[in-house]
Amino acid sequence: MSATIVSLPDQSTARIPKVNFITKENGLLSWLLTGDHKRIAILYLISLSFFFFIGGALAGLIRLELLTPQADLMATDTYNKVFTMHGVIMIFFFLVPSVPATLGNFLIPLMIGAKDLALPKINLLSWYLYIAGGLLAIYTMATGGVDTGWTFTTPLSTHYVNTNVLTTGLAVFIAGFSSIFTGLNFLVTIHKMRCPGMTWFKLPLFVWAHYAASILMVLGTPVVAIAIVLVALERTIGIGVFDPTKGGDPILFQHLFWFYSHPAVYIMILPGMGVISETISTFSRKRVFGYTAVAFSSVAIAVFGFFVWAHHMFIMGISNYAVLVFSLLTMLVAVPSAIKIFNWTFTLYKGSITFETPMLYTFGFMGLFTIGGLTGVFLGTSGTDIHLTETYFIVAHFHFVMVGGMLMAFLAGIHFWWPKMTGRMYPEKISQLAAVITFIGFNFTFFPQFILGTLGMPRRYASYPPEFQVLNVFSTAGATILGVGYLLPVLYLTWSLKYGEIAGNNPWQATGLEWQTQSPPLTENFTVTPIMDHEAYDYDWLDKQKEKEVTTSVG
């Protein structure tokens, strides 16, 4: 593990460029009123981390409660509120915006050679909407919380609970618009702002993944907004859309909700997949194997992702034939994910591989996402879904994909682009340790939950039969390790802002346009509009560039 691709400038003479997007203007207002996509990305990064740690603390409370079979740490009502808020915060205020709003925002214009996103003011509005929604969610938690589960199932949410359903719904509704605007901005930018020579098949796969996710954001999110409005109307004035006593149908809510919330998991995972394509190429010094296959598999996931929502409802009394169709389509959406995994694996073939932190997280992602994906097939298969759905099996599956997959990818990306965002390197050894700790802690936490689910332990239980305790103790112990794994990066990344080594333009010797400009970049990103005269992931081109630099400096 000693070999590395990192090449840093001479630390005794190197300086962070005096003019960059961070130093350009000073003062809080210059940040709060900025139109710069990079500054907005930093705002998102700070606020996202805040929500992640609130959601994480709630997860800690859940695991503590489940240490013993009785509901003894908190009352069942409190427990119900805790897991509801954990779900709402983690999904709507962390996972959905995580990679797109931070890394996507920062990198898409840089990667396509543009000065900014197409609609900078809309971009800032997205952040304000996100913050408004997030603060409202925190406010509802502080003033009594909500206990519907993050799925807001009717008629429980419309007629039976007395908690803050309306304000939580409003929070999600507002955050939804943030997501729509971000998606829209990305779509317009990727279509209209590419630099000369940047054709669709020269785009980094990170951009392709965000393009696919943006389609989902723009088309899916309005539907959950509609569902929330209907819940609110039902709760306040009793319009009866979902109420069977008034001729409504509670299953309709399930259709509307999952029509968004299933594509939403692809909104969450696709950008993460984009990160993995970048890191795996850079750290094996090779063009991504099967570029077109990986690009189109992102689009295929986005398209098929819209037609599988009813697989959340196999046991809810939808017709058996609908189950057939949705089960079949679910199998089809599993294939592009398999394609991606194999293409990433073969990117390593005949590469020249190094094992820096982003690469370790990438391997973590590949292992955990493969397990998460394969267990998804257990749930998409209608027969076994009957036994496994609504148990800890589904909790484990979901966390393998979202935490094992998405969060690993997020951390891979944050470490990978940290030098670009801040101009400084993170400390390598301790961050490798953090990556390993996260991987071990994650498996300890969530693998036992597959067994619990197979045994039939239902999700969202504050108390459970005593024979399930051993596995729950394993899970809670693992969560403690996982907590350490997540705290470490916060500490050393903050430390590195002042004490990290100066990174230079391109510490990883990566090929993306974002690496060909200074770190941190100028507000305008590039001094001269770049021209894309080579393929994506063209390491030969990079070597030639370096030779040129050497000859010019020698000459």
Partner 1 sequence: MNHISPTLWQFLVKWMTSFPLFPPEASKIAPEMDALFFFMVLVSVIGMTIVVLLVTSFCLLYSKERHPVAVQVEGSTLLEATWTIIPLGLFLVMFVWGALVYFRVYTPPANSMNIYVVGKQWMWKAEHPGGQHEINSLHVPTGRAIQLTLISQDVFHSFSIPAFRVKREAIPGRYTTVWFEPTVPGTYHLFCTQYCGTNHSQMIGEVVVLTPDGYKKWLDESTSGASLAQNGERLFASLSCAACHNARPDARGPALANVYGAKLPLASGGTVTADEAYLRESILNPSQHVTQGYAPIMPTYQGQISEEGVIALVEYIKNLNSEYRIQQTLNTTDLLPESQSAAGAKSAEQGKVKQ
Q: Does 240 interact with partner 1 (rule: CB under 8 A)?
A: no
Nearest residue (CB) to partner 1, 20 versus 545 = 545
Residue 289 near residue 205 (C-beta atoms within 8 A): no
**CA proximity to 93, closest of 149, 166, 176:** 176
Of the residues 100, 367, 441, 500, which one makes contact with partner 1 according to CB under 8 A? 367
Task: Name the CA dihedral angle for 136, 257, 341, 536, rounded to a multiple of 10 degrees.
Answer: -70
C-alpha 135 chain-centroid distance:
20
Interface positions, 30-69, toward partner 1 (CB under 8 A) = none
Nearest residue (CB) to partner 1, 298 versus 422 = 298
Task: Name the CA dihedral angle for 449, 455, 460, 465, rounded to a multiple of 10 degrees.
Answer: -110
Q: Does 363 interact with partner 1 (rule: CB under 8 A)?
A: yes
Residue 187 near residue 112 (C-beta atoms within 8 A): no
Considering only the stretches 1-9, 33-41, 176-184, 404-412, report the one whose residues sit in contact with partner 1 under the rule CB under 8 A: 1-9
Considering only the stretches 223-231, 260-268, 340-348, 525-533, report the one whose residues sit in contact with partner 1 under the rule CB under 8 A: 340-348
Please report, for residues 73, 372, 458, 489, the alpha-carbon distance to residue 476 in angstroms, rounded to integers and kept in the order given: 14, 20, 17, 21
Peptide bond into 120 cis (omega under 30): no
Q: Does 73 interact with partner 1 (rule: CB under 8 A)?
A: no
Nearest residue (CB) to partner 1, 165 versus 502 = 165
Q: Does 26 interact with partner 1 (rule: CB under 8 A)?
A: no
Nearest residue (CB) to partner 1, 117 versus 231 = 231
| Residue 458 β-bridge partners | 391
Q: Does 290 interact with partner 1 (rule: CB under 8 A)?
A: yes
**CA proximity to 357, closest of 286, 422, 412:** 412
Considering only the stretches 29-37, 241-249, 266-274, 496-504, report the one whose residues sit in contact with partner 1 under the rule CB under 8 A: 241-249
Peptide bond into 155 cis (omega under 30): yes
Q: Does 249 interact with partner 1 (rule: CB under 8 A)?
A: yes
* Range 530-534, long-range pairs (CB < 8 A, 24+ positions): 530/113, 530/195, 531/113, 531/195, 531/196, 531/197, 532/113, 532/194, 532/195, 532/196, 532/197, 532/198, 532/199, 532/202, 533/197, 534/202
Residue 16 to residue 252: CA distance in whole angstroms: 56
| Residue 531 β-bridge partners | none
Considering only the stretches 43-51, 131-139, 262-270, 369-377, report the one whose residues sit in contact with partner 1 under the rule CB under 8 A: 369-377
Q: Does 121 interact with partner 1 (rule: CB under 8 A)?
A: no
Considering only the stretches 221-229, 262-270, 339-347, 525-533, report the one whose residues sit in contact with partner 1 under the rule CB under 8 A: 339-347
Nearest residue (CB) to partner 1, 114 versus 409 = 409
Nearest residue (CB) to partner 1, 196 versus 238 = 238
Residue 502 to residue 74: CA distance in whole angstroms: 48
Of the residues 244, 491, 524, 549, which one makes contact with partner 1 according to CB under 8 A? 244
Q: Does 365 interact with partner 1 (rule: CB under 8 A)?
A: no
What is the pattern of x (binds partner 1, CB under 8 A) and - over residues 422-441?
A: --------------------
Give the tokens for residue 305.
């992702």
What is the pattern of x (binds partner 1, CB under 8 A) and - over residues 387-416?
A: x-xxx-------------------------
Q: Does 189 interact with partner 1 (rule: CB under 8 A)?
A: no
Q: Does 155 interact with partner 1 (rule: CB under 8 A)?
A: yes
Nearest residue (CB) to partner 1, 373 versus 483 = 373
Considering only the stretches 52-60, 189-197, 332-340, 438-446, report the one whose residues sit in contact with partner 1 under the rule CB under 8 A: 332-340
Residue 161 near residue 148 (C-beta atoms within 8 A): yes
Q: How far is the CB of 474 from partner 1 (least distance, A)?
A: 10
**CA proximity to 216, closest of 380, 96, 130:** 96
Q: Does 341 interact with partner 1 (rule: CB under 8 A)?
A: yes
Q: Does 465 interact with partner 1 (rule: CB under 8 A)?
A: yes
**CA proximity to 269, closest of 341, 327, 202:** 341
Element (H, E) at 184: helix 165-192
Of the residues 23, 143, 199, 345, which one makes contact with partner 1 according to CB under 8 A? 345
Interface positions, 516-555, toward partner 1 (CB under 8 A) = 539-540
Nearest residue (CB) to partner 1, 43 versus 329 = 329
Q: How far is the CB of 464 from partner 1 (least distance, A)?
A: 7
Question: Greatest CA separation found in the chain?
Answer: 85
Residues that bind partner 1 (rule: CB under 8 A) add up to a total of: 99
Q: How far is the CB of 508 from partner 1 (least distance, A)?
A: 13
Nearest residue (CB) to partner 1, 352 versus 529 = 352
Considering only the stretches 135-143, 151-159, 498-506, 545-553, report the one whose residues sit in contact with partner 1 under the rule CB under 8 A: 151-159
Residue 94 to residue 103: CA distance in whole angstroms: 13
